Structure 1
Amino acid sequence: MKTLSQKSTRHKVRSTKTYLSLSFIFYFLFSFSQEIQKDTTKTTELKEVMVSSVRAKGQNPITHSNVSVKEISPRNLGQDIPVLLQYLPSVVTTTDAGNGVGYTYMRVRGSDGSRINVTLNGVPFNDSESQGTFFVNLPDFASSLESVQLQRGVGTSTNGAGAFGASLNMQTKSFQEKAYAEVSNSVGSFGTRKHTLAFGTGLHNHFEMNARISNIVSEGFIDRASSNMFGYFFNANYITEKSQIKFLAFGGKEKTYQAWYGIEDVDKLENDRTFNPAGMYTDEFGNVQFYDNETDNYWQNHFQLHWTEKWSENWISNAALHYTIGKGYFEQYKEDETLADYDLPDFGGNSISDLVRKRWLDNDFFGTTFSLNYKTLKTDFLFGGAANRYLGKHFGEVIWTQYYVPNANTYYDNFGNKDDINFYTKASYNIINKLNLFTDLQYRMVFYEATSVKFSDVNDTFRFFNPKAGLSYQLNNKNSFYGYFGIANKEPRRDDYENGSVKPERLLDYELGWKYNSKKLKVNANAFYMNYKDQLVLTGALNDVGSPVFTNSGKSYRVGLEVESSIVITKQLILNPNVTVSQNKNQDFYFQRDGILQNLGDTDIAFSPNLILGNRLTFIPINNFQISVLSKFVSEQYMGNIDSEKSKLDAYFVSDLNINYEWKLNKTIKSIVFSGLVNNIFDLEYESNGYFYTYDDTWSGPTPTTIEGTGYYPQAGINFLVGASLNF
């Protein structure tokens, strides 16, 4: 919670008994023993389709990257999901605290998190009003993942807010046939620690359960940018040859010291890179102080119930119910506030006072998703959809003033309610042996009601038709080609209403790709052209609670080339480079400068670098031992849309070193996995994010003068994380 808007097989089982005994220190001494007995029932694993409805399949003409848990786990030492995915094509990440713990964000093709559709097992994760994604509310969620797919561009129809840059589909762990237990601990720079306990019962009489609890703490690279996060995951499965019923409960609680204001003072950026202005005030003696509880506090719990049924060899269905509940606040020290603005009385003639306020979000999100799949050798047809409701309460209270402590003061009390209904059909048909036709039609309805202290009451309805189509051609065993066209529409966010930008957006996405697949070389290359109408682009500025401000830009486009590859140089040496070259432009962009509305012509879209390079070099000298060097280059980018030289964010090139060794032991302790991660091995001083603002100075003379300002988010220099996992 950050802003007001966020306030808003088949498998054979033999009869065996396994006794596990495990002792470890996990804040306290804990030991248990477990007897697991598996019967001789022969069971056939039902292929999971929870996320197949929103994922691209191999033959689909969709630009995407698949990431398995094996690729993530060597670096899963406490940093958040965006940081773990930062080496994928067209991905740029940043963190408030500077070290990848706490609030972390990602952009894909220049589009921020509010424009990246995220689903968890096909269930929407984006906040309904802000449309943002806050992985800080799911600490250590990577430890419960089975696979991830990142679709770039419009992609396939999915549930939740429209995808204007990408879709991130995450699937959690499925059932595990064998019982297991895992204890993981890691420590590192800036007082960072992660402790994880996970276990599973194994499949027994068609039932299986697995669970995880985690705690992550860090002081952060930035001053006082501390994090203390607790996360949990529980999964219960009932499995037969034709059915799977899955219940999931997961979530977390976080307390983070605010670090989302960056540094505006260039001198401090150069000489005091860890400076954090959050909570700063001047006491009665003129001394600069920092409020010690300028924190963000939020908890969120997710509940999902999935039923998958295989009706015949051709028909399979999935239905899900979900419920998410979240509540929290951020606390702020405010200097010299007018008491009347908070519905508070004067004190002895004093109408101005320092005070401490809390801004709350209390929300519920619930609904259903469903899909029905018919599949033959030549045809793959799917009908699906979702109906979801969001109920959000926004309110604020003053808990202290310098003169008195108020009694139950609520100075604003608003709401935001949203209904989101969509239906889609997807069809994949082999026209001839090598040519496949893909179509995808979605109809989406959005009903939004809201009140606020900043805008008039809202009661808007949006109806969107989002068609998509493409062709895939398999030239031979190694080469295939695809073409794709998709249309996406997207409604404004709550903050956009506050900023006066209330037009829905429209995107036409064209993709043309080539895939090459041989034993030693894999290449995925695609050209894209994304043509926008009324795109909400980041202005670079922040609002009064540190959230980015957007504005409708009229016409704009993104055009580029992405190449992702895997090169097996030898059995021990593997190279995985990727590159994105792009141009991102507003067309005929209007801006008021020096009191005059001017047409600036074509300008660069904010936070859209023209060149992004990624690479992973992996060396495997012996079995179970892996050394990887991961590198990322991001070219210079503008933090605003007016091509001001002051708004430039410098290019940066960072590299990380990752070492992973698995020591296999015996039947009781199966293995110990040692992991090490050195981030930013060349100790580069760089900023991965910032903001840019302008305002007209009307006091300096008869003609207004446009003043420009910037802020930056420094990232940590060289730092490390080391960990060990015991697997039972």
Structure 2
Amino acid sequence: MKKLLIFSVFAFFSFITFAQEYTVSGIVTNSDGEPLVGANIILKSNRGTITNFDGNYSVTINQGVQSIVFSHLGYNAETRSIVVNGDMELNISLSKTSETLDEVLVQAIRVDADSPITHSNLEKEELEKRNLGQDIPYMLSYMPSVVTTSDAGAGVGYTYIRVRGSDASRVNVTLNGIPYNDSESQGTFWVNLPDFTSSVQSLQLQRGVGTSTNGSGAFGASLNLLSDAVSNDAYGEISNSFGSYNTHKHNVKFSTGLLSNHFEVSGRLSTIKSDGYIDRASSDLKSYFLQGAFVDDNTLIKALTFGGKNITYQSWNGLEDPEKLENDRTFNTAGMYTDENGNIQFYDNEIDDYAQDHYQLLWNQRYDNNWSTNLSFNYTRGKGYFEQYKEDQKFKTYGFEPIYIGGDTINRTDVIRRRWLDNHYYAANATVNYKNNSIDFTGGAFYSYYTGDHYGEVIWARYASASEIRDRYYDSNGEKSEFTVFSKATYRLNERLSVFGDLQGRFLNYNTTGITSDLVLMEIDEDYAFFNPKAGLTYKLNPTNQFYFSYGKAHREPSRNDYEQGITTPEKLDDFELGWRFGTAKTKVNTNIYYMHYKDQLVLSGELNDVGAALRTSSGKSYRLGLEVDAQIQLLKNLRTLPNIALSTNKNVDFVTSRDGELVNLGKTNISFSPSVVAGNMLEYSPIKNLQLGLLSKFVGEQYMGNIDSEASKLDSFFINDLNIVYILDNLPWVKEIVFSGLVNNIFNVKYVSNGYFYTWDDDFSNPGTVTTIEGAGYYPQATTNFLLGATIKF
């Protein structure tokens, strides 16, 4: 494999052309003449760079007529067409925008390039390169400390993300400042918003505690997404892609542009289908996005509705059989049953069927050059079920009465059951921002209310006793209310030193009634009050070197599954971050050391419940200590690399477990699903105008699926490489441009596993009078070499 990798890199270099190229450089400032740090400079070929701490940039460009796009969050993008005949200087001044929510909304939940918070950004231009149907976690795959996985094996359907070893339930996600994590499970289910990437303007991933945000605390990271900005000009887009496993995506997008200089309507319709890499792990996904906007010099009002519906065949069981993992790794046990002749069959409707709709009203108001406000309202409606064929079930599991026929008693049956979730989520958010040359202050309040019904139905039974179709065999309700207030400010003491402070109070109540799917009474009424302070400072040594330090405290309440396991104690985290940023015209390097100290951290136990959800256990004291480095290096005029690496040690301090019938303190053990090495690289090469080739590499070190350092729970390390190709066909008579893109995943055909589960049970039958702990594991194989090809026509 190493020879192939060396050959592929050599092939990249062998394509280098000798077309005449020159350097364009300059400074990007705002309308007040202040340098803009981290502004994006993008060429039509998708090559580009960002400004350093003094707003300077330098980019190589081919001879001739060229187009350069300058952009920065909160500012109007500017496109310049220039004639390049030699090295030249081009200075740009960007004006603040009232056509996007970035200026106020992003300030409330995001941080600037020179803040003391560890973060990474992705803009629409970068997302478009690989947006061929895979879910948002796969768009983030090559960010530092990020590990992604997919139940179906190829990035369509149920996909997940882990950051610094923390699973998705501990990554705070917001859409336009509104929490997306499910209030009860705390998870994020991107399958309910298929193709949402096509409606994302930009996103920011803050690692660690980050800055104050809405919703449950960030214990590994926070991810905030901003939906499409208002377009001044009318446009239309048609995108189609297809690939391996009968995967195909189709969408249409449009915008009216500004009508009467004030009104815009835009939207998107999408459909994605895939058979999945794993047997029968099919996905049938539909989604929409519709936006109406009013804008003038100081006001922006948006009304949005977006949502999706998924029908996916279940594939959460994984593989427990090592022989099948080796020889039949796509085998799926979901839906498997035995017919009357003893033959193995698969139920054809073992599916998840869920729909989710979001409604948002966003109002951004600027009063003068210093003051601005944002007010937003949200309603989310979700309803759906998953359906299962279950063999040889006990009558008492479904509340059935035994059937007596002659002298025989029937108390077991085959059933088809549906488990429903029917929920409503309401949220309101208000922020105010004051900014001048020395201080940037934001304060706000957030309130949300959630109610969700959980119930189960039997829609068919071989022996139904006295039940009726769709009788509910369990029924429960969960309600959660939350009120948050925060204030944060960055104060510039002088040209070199600035300080950051952030105070948040979070108050919530969780209340449940009824019985669970295990027919256990669940009556909870818990109140929590959390105070989460954060502080930091940034020191600019010179135009190329910047240092920062931050401290953040966070608390997090248990999830519904935790309560069902008897866990009611909230988690506590102290996060220390020390960073160095280096930036020149051709090289950007971000380096940070972090120490995250937890009390009562809820780590994944490795086990799953009966519906494939990961269970957690309290680890007492634990910590994560790590080093993260990411860079952007211009190797040649048309070749750049974006490497990153995260080295970490993740330990439970005194982990107690049950072994052979006794409680045992194992001392210091590795935290589950926390690899000590995660590395990535994006090698991008533009041999000719409008063509970009990318070699994307990811290495994930070995990791344990449990917390007891058992060899049976170990996942092997893996190293995979993807090839990304983008070509833009422009100067066409009837359309603006056609963008062709291709993605070949796992080009070296690596058979790897990125996720799994681990469990133990006590065996007291083999040797009477003794208890022996038995261990077992399951695995989720990921796809071997596969491809996606697409074309987008822009009008």
TM-score bracket, normalised by the shorter chain, equals over 0.9
Instruction: Name the CA distance, whole Å, in 1 between partners of 2:585 and 2:173.
Output: 33
Instruction: Name the CA distance, whole Å, in 2 between partners of 1:504 and 1:599.
Output: 22
Match of 1:384 in 2: 444
Contact 1:591–1:600, Cα closer than 8 Å, also in 2: yes
Match of 2:331 in 1: 275
Instruction: Name the CA distance, whole Å, in 1 between partners of 2:402 and 2:416.
Output: 16
Match of 1:433 in 2: 495
Match of 2:430 in 1: 370
For 1:29-428, what aligned pairs fall within 5 Å after superposition?
Answer: 45-46=98-99, 48=101, 49-205=104-260, 206-347=262-403, 348=405, 349-404=409-464, 406-428=468-490
Determine helix, strand or coil for the equivalent of 1:100.
coil
Alpha-carbon distance, 1:567 to partner: 0.2
Alpha-carbon distance, 1:367 to partner: 1.6
Matched, 1:625 2:669: no
Give 2:481's aligned amino acid.
Answer: D
Instruction: Name the CA distance, whole Å, in 2 between partners of 1:683 and 1:425.
Output: 50
Match of 2:774 in 1: 707
Instruction: Name the CA distance, whole Å, in 1 between partners of 2:344 and 2:693.
Output: 47
Instruction: Name the CA distance, whole Å, in 1 between partners of 2:700 and 2:511.
Output: 40
Contact 2:100–2:230, Cα closer than 8 Å, also in 1: no
Determine helix, strand or coil for the equivalent of 1:143.
helix
Match of 1:615 in 2: 681
Larger mean Cα displacement after TM superposition, 481-490 or 618-627 = 618-627
Query: Could you list the per-position Cα deviations for residues 112-152 of structure 1 after superposition, in whole angstroms to 9, with x for gaps in the alignment?
Result: 00000000000000000000000000010000010010000
Match of 2:557 in 1: 491
RMSD: 1.4
Alpha-carbon distance, 1:342 to partner: 1.1
Alpha-carbon distance, 1:44 to partner: 6.5
Instruction: Name the CA distance, whole Å, in 2 between partners of 1:705 and 1:73.
Output: 54
Query: Could you list the per-position Cα deviations for residues 237-293 of structure 1 after superposition, in whole angstroms to 9, with x for gaps in the alignment?
Result: 100000000111000000000001100011110110001111111111111111110
Alpha-carbon distance, 1:592 to partner: 1.0
Instruction: Name the CA distance, whole Å, in 2 between partners of 1:198 and 1:346.
Output: 57
Alpha-carbon distance, 1:74 to partner: 1.1
Query: Could you list the per-position Cα deviations for residues 641-662 of structure 1 after superposition, in whole angstroms to 9, with x for gaps in the alignment?
Result: 0000111000000000000001
Give 2:324's aligned amino acid.
Answer: K
Match of 2:510 in 1: 448
Determine helix, strand or coil for the equivalent of 1:175.
coil
Alpha-carbon distance, 1:82 to partner: 0.2
Query: Could you list the per-position Cα deviations for residues 454-510 of structure 1 after superposition, in whole angstroms to 9, with x for gaps in the alignment?
Result: 354100000000000000001111110000000000000000011122210000000
Instruction: Name the CA distance, whole Å, in 1 between partners of 2:159 and 2:580.
Output: 32
Instruction: Name the CA distance, whole Å, in 1 between partners of 2:664 and 2:762.
Output: 14
Match of 1:725 in 2: 792
Give 1:75's aligned amino acid.
Answer: R
Instruction: Name the CA distance, whole Å, in 2 between partners of 1:290 and 1:51.
Output: 48
Determine helix, strand or coil for the equivalent of 1:540.
strand
Compute the TM-score of the two structures, normalised by the length of structure 2. Answer: 0.86
Specify whether residues 287 and 155 from structure 1 end up closer, same or farther in structure 2 by C-alpha distance, changes over 3 A only.
same
Match of 2:724 in 1: 658
Contact 1:577–1:614, Cα closer than 8 Å, also in 2: yes
Give 1:547's aligned amino acid.
Answer: A
Contact 2:460–2:469, Cα closer than 8 Å, also in 1: no
Determine helix, strand or coil for the equivalent of 1:500.
coil
Give 1:668's aligned amino acid.
Answer: W
Alpha-carbon distance, 1:321 to partner: 0.6
Match of 2:25 in 1: none
Determine helix, strand or coil for the equivalent of 2:562.
helix
Larger mean Cα displacement after TM superposition, 51-60 or 414-423 = 51-60
Larger mean Cα displacement after TM superposition, 340-349 or 254-263 = 340-349
Instruction: Name the CA distance, whole Å, in 1 between partners of 2:99 and 2:582.
Output: 31
Alpha-carbon distance, 1:351 to partner: 1.7
Instruction: Name the CA distance, whole Å, in 2 between partners of 1:312 and 1:558.
Output: 44
The gaps in structure 2 that reach 5 residues or longer are 1-29, 32-94
Structure 1 segments, 4+ long, off by >6 Å, are none
Alpha-carbon distance, 1:338 to partner: 1.6
Determine helix, strand or coil for the equivalent of 1:432.
coil
Larger mean Cα displacement after TM superposition, 602-611 or 662-671 = 662-671
Give 1:435's aligned amino acid.
Answer: L
Contact 1:455–1:498, Cα closer than 8 Å, also in 2: no
Determine helix, strand or coil for the equivalent of 1:97.
coil
Instruction: Name the CA distance, whole Å, in 2 between partners of 1:416 and 1:659.
Output: 47
Instruction: Name the CA distance, whole Å, in 1 between partners of 2:138 and 2:427.
Output: 30
Match of 2:567 in 1: 501
Match of 2:750 in 1: 684
Contact 1:501–1:550, Cα closer than 8 Å, also in 2: no
Give 2:537's aligned amino acid.
Answer: L
Match of 1:552 in 2: 618
Determine helix, strand or coil for the equivalent of 1:52.
helix
Determine helix, strand or coil for the equivalent of 1:212.
strand
Contact 1:43–1:240, Cα closer than 8 Å, also in 2: no
Matched, 1:570 2:625: no
Determine helix, strand or coil for the equivalent of 2:323.
helix
Instruction: Name the CA distance, whole Å, in 1 between partners of 2:636 and 2:255.
Output: 37
Instruction: Name the CA distance, whole Å, in 2 between partners of 1:430 and 1:43.
Output: 21
Instruction: Name the CA distance, whole Å, in 2 between partners of 1:436 and 1:47.
Output: 27
Instruction: Name the CA distance, whole Å, in 2 between partners of 1:670 and 1:519.
Output: 31
Give 1:320's aligned amino acid.
Answer: S
Alpha-carbon distance, 1:43 to partner: 12
Match of 1:582 in 2: 648
Match of 2:84 in 1: none
Specify whether residues 43 and 277 from structure 1 end up closer, same or farther in structure 2 by C-alpha distance, changes over 3 A only.
closer
Question: What is the percentage of aligned positions where both structures have the same residue?
Answer: 55
Determine helix, strand or coil for the equivalent of 2:643.
strand
Instruction: Name the CA distance, whole Å, in 2 between partners of 1:276 and 1:470.
Output: 49
Give 2:496's aligned amino acid.
Answer: K
Specify whether residues 470 and 268 from structure 1 end up closer, same or farther in structure 2 by C-alpha distance, changes over 3 A only.
same
Instruction: Name the CA distance, whole Å, in 1 between partners of 2:718 and 2:113.
Output: 34
Give 1:329's aligned amino acid.
Answer: Y
Contact 1:484–1:512, Cα closer than 8 Å, also in 2: yes
Determine helix, strand or coil for the equivalent of 1:365.
strand
Contact 1:400–1:406, Cα closer than 8 Å, also in 2: no
Alpha-carbon distance, 1:317 to partner: 0.2
